Structure 1
Amino acid sequence: MVVPAPKGWILRCAQNDRRSGVVWGIGVFLLLAGAIRAQIDEAPPVRIDVAYASSYVFRGVERAGDSAQAAVEFNRDNLRGGLWINQPFSQGDTREVNLNAAYAWRPADAVTLEASVAHAWFDDVPGGGVKRSLEAGLNATLAPIQGFTPGLAYYHDFRLRADTVQASLARSIALTKLGAFLELNFFTGWVSGDDWRPDAPGPRRADSYGYWGGEAHVPYRVGPHSTVVAGLHYADSFGRSITNGPFGRTGHGKLGVTLGVNLDF
């Protein structure tokens, strides 16, 4: 899925046992969320997502095969924050935990900006050399043009010394007879990194590559607080070095499916 800032204390999670690090990260996040909710008069909306994915692809590079994915997101006005986990079914595939936050605002009627920060931890990275990443980004979404919504995003990863520029085009089509929507998104991007293995000894590994793809989702509301979502995804990359580029599988042109449930409160 394509595709959301912890403080210094949480870095200890990456130094402990793999499973205990994940558990501690989830536990501390939930404690912080509870403290925040206790300080405000009204609890912010909460969303919980659970899904199966036949593959996990990040910016054109497949990081894992069949996986279970889970996320919790808290929203308060223009601010959101959440935790996202990808747990592969196969041993040897990369496990990922992502803690993220974002703030959105509208400087003009036709433009919405969102600033984001995300800190990710990785286990079982092929070849090792990278345990975590820290990325900040700015995403601009323009007003729809003949039903299509264009977007442009820039991200900088401080640990990988990587810059990403991505352009996207989205459209939502009403499926009146089904009482649902078909949500389409097409994207292309370019990534340039100077240190794809920051935790490995020796010289830095630098590489640049491009990627593109598309996805289709059909969310269908089945209850007051529950939605079933089916998705089809395709992504590919070009120009990526297997040894010096970002970690991931070596295949190209990955087609995948997702099936999940969203719960909102």
Structure 2
Amino acid sequence: MTDREDERGPAKRAEEFLQVFKKGAEFTQEILKDNERLRYQILELEERLKLREDMGGTGDSVSDKLLERIQVLEKEKKEILERILHVEAENVDFANRYVEVESENNMLANLYIASYQLHSTLDFREVLQVITEIIINLIGAEEFAIMLLDEKTNKLQAMAGEGLELKELPTIGLGEGVIGQMAKTGENYFIDDMENYVRDYAHPIVCIPLKIKEHVIGVIVIYKLLTQKSRFAEVDYELFTLLAGHAATAIFSSKLYSESERKLSTIQGFIELLTK
């Protein structure tokens, strides 16, 4: 990375990244409009061609010609209407696919920015705060907690969260209940029936292990979603997986940094005592 790129900073790169997605969305909209316009032009040209061919034919009388022409036009009208309906259905399908792609692009862009925020600090508390904001804004959770594993006791304890009193959350041993089991196996957990769910600290609606490769350092447990979010979309499951990896790495790095800072401070203290 050059000095010039360092000066731009994460915010500038994130802005440039969003601009790329915006240009892609505008280009896709132009393609959809051109596609629809060309389809109607083809139908119009085909109709004109058929009309010219039919006008060159002969008949026994003017009335017979007119009647025959009316029948042909009625048939062609029916065919054209069917083809127009088919084109409209295709346009609706293209529009729906465009909305889905745009939604996924926005999510990925937000995650891209969030990952920069996660790795822009080595302060442990700041990392937990960034993860909290990501869970609220990207996932749409209202009540949740970030529980970290104490490797000395093999117990999970809530270190940060939203909408809950952390002291009310129990300390959970590795392998105990749903949360402890997910921390032990490293698998994601999602409840089947969200509509009839009643908050149970030992049984969340979502439990996502924070993993570095296969090593679990904690879990994210969610107990309630925001009012406007009644269920998870397909992209949410991908976000959970990506978030878990980024969050775990950021937490692990910040903890190592904090420990090294404490050790350095202790060593410096000893050196000062010896030199005095």
TM-score (norm 2): 0.25
Q: Which has the higher strand share?
A: 1
Give the number of the structure whose alpha-carbon radius of gyration is greater: 2
TM-score (norm 1): 0.26
